[in-house]
Structure 1
Amino acid sequence: MGRFSGKSVVITGGSSGIGLAAARRIVEEGGAVLITGSNAARLESAREQLPALHILVNDASKPEAAQALAEEAGRLFGTIDAVFLNAGVGAGAPLGHLTPDIYRQLMDINVGGPLFGTQALAPIVCDGGSILITASIAKDKGMQASALYSATKGAVRSLVRGFARELAPRRIRVNALSPGPIETDFFNRLGLPEEHASMVTQQIAAGNPLGRMGTAEEAAAVATFLLSDEASYVTGSDYYVDGGDAQL
């Protein structure tokens, strides 16, 4: 019997990276999973890897998409045991190059996504369930050209505290996951040339206390702990998966 046997879980931003790694672990441990993403081809690719997955094209940056997701999750599962609000974007710009479009893009998906996602999905989360939202160590560090991105992840941390308090009467736990440097397709999706992306990741790894990048699977291991009943006395917390980057 796995930790998720007989349980249903919704994961936004689940077509790649940490979201997909978490979906894989949950399916392997007996759970039913609905993943979302804005790219239909990547979602289909994820389902080819894990045929048991349910998929839904759903843009987390649009407030109305949250209600559509809740309706689909309700149709599939009735009620759900856990939610992993992982969809986000890491774009940014230095002072002098920030635009209203960049502001809207980052705020709409990184803040609006978990805000409206929690609001829409909480009513169908079972009492005693779990909600996990992806933040980032960027909220704790001053990083070049990342002030706005860091601010959105700081907002996520505050949302988690507020939601955890509001949902405590239903014993629904709300926590944050703060990844550090994780090996995903992040740089490729930013359009960086492969050689440049490789140089950046080497520099990041060299500066990390553990001397390497983390893996999506390592982040997913912490995520699935927080989503599971093993974390039944954990709420309002922020778990770092960063090789000590924000701590040491």
Structure 2
Amino acid sequence: MTRKFENKVVIVTGGTSGIGLATAKAFSENGASVFITGRRKEALDAAVKTIGGKVTGVQADMSVLADIDRLYDAVQQQHSQIDVVFANAGGGEFAPLGAITEAHYQQTFDTNVKGTLFTVQKALPLLRDGAAVVLTSSTTSISGTPAFSVYSATKAAVRNFARNWILDLKDRHIRVNAISPGLTDTAGVNELFGSGAQAEDAKRHMAGLIPAGRIGQPEEIAKAVLFLASDDASFVNGIELFVDGGMVQI
């Protein structure tokens, strides 16, 4: 273990399952002091035990600005600055055009766009010059998916945050990049597809469309996030890194 993040302070929102959990664990194993967020206390407590090391759980809904303030208040109680923000909290549900409700639109944009925006903006006073920000976008930012237009629009917005924020933050040498996972074996994906034989058939069909021949694992996405957050990516800025087995390249 190289422990590339020894003595670094890292924020991982949506860190109780899937990609967020795997990434928080990887940061911790590399020596970082990690702060994770989650909406449900039971899941948050379980994630803290799973991650181990120097990890702090903060119960927060990242679409609620007061909760974001609580997160950074908790950080300031222990540390004077932040080295990495992984703005990962997000989610979405299927809804075809013609069946999209205002509530569906509002919830998806508040979580994925508003939450990402204010997670980063409210971190700025604590972010050290030269820090790294990684945003979770999705392959849906460039690839159409039936009944998934609202979610896809939010992820395109997140990707464009990276393009613009590298200009806003250039004087502070803060790098901002977006990670765009493809189909990944997480609880969120399982919830999206539902349960039973039909859901398994849908996942098998999707896996068959991926040149790598399978869906991704959260740990594989985590490795890409750690690269973007590390000094190894010191000249990587504003990109969208697809970690999808090649699916959107064909």
Equivalent residue, structure 2, for 1:67:
69
Q: Does 1:161 align with 2:163?
A: yes
Q: Pick which of 68-77 and 208-217 moved more.
A: 68-77
**Residue pair 2:94, 2:148 contacting (<8 A) in 1 also:** yes
**Residue pair 1:15, 1:35 contacting (<8 A) in 2 also:** yes
SS at match of 2:75: helix
Residue from 107, 110, 113 that aligns with 2:109: 107
> With structure 2 as the length reference, what TM-score do the two structures score?
0.95
Deviation readout 1:120-144 (Å, 9 max, x if unpaired): 0122011111011000000111110
Matched residues, number? 248
Dislocated runs of 4+, deviation >3 Å: 187-191
Pairing of 1:113-128 with structure 2 (within 5 A): 113-128=115-130
Equivalent residue, structure 2, for 1:13:
14
Q: Does 1:129 align with 2:131?
A: yes
Deviation readout 1:75-111 (Å, 9 max, x if unpaired): 2222110000000012130011100000001100110
**Residue pair 2:21, 2:51 contacting (<8 A) in 1 also:** no
Deviation readout 1:172-225 (Å, 9 max, x if unpaired): 101100000111111343481243332221111011111100110000000011
Distance 2:194 2:128 in 1: 42
> With structure 1 as the length reference, what TM-score do the two structures score?
0.96
After superposition, the CA RMSD in angstroms is 1.3
**Residue pair 1:187, 1:197 contacting (<8 A) in 2 also:** no
**Residue pair 2:28, 2:52 contacting (<8 A) in 1 also:** no
Pairing of 1:1-248 with structure 2 (within 5 A): 1-52=2-53, 53-190=55-192, 192-248=194-250
Q: Pick which of 196-205 and 23-32 moved more.
A: 196-205
Distance 2:80 2:197 in 1: 47
Query: What letter is aligned with 1:232?
Result: S
Structure 2, gaps ≥5 residues long: none
Query: What letter is aligned with 2:232?
Result: E
SS at match of 1:233: coil
SS at match of 1:123: coil
Q: Pick which of 192-201 and 226-235 moved more.
A: 192-201
**Residue pair 2:180, 2:240 contacting (<8 A) in 1 also:** yes
**Residue pair 2:86, 2:135 contacting (<8 A) in 1 also:** yes
**Residue pair 1:188, 1:194 contacting (<8 A) in 2 also:** no
Matched-pair identity in %: 39
**Residue pair 2:182, 2:244 contacting (<8 A) in 1 also:** yes
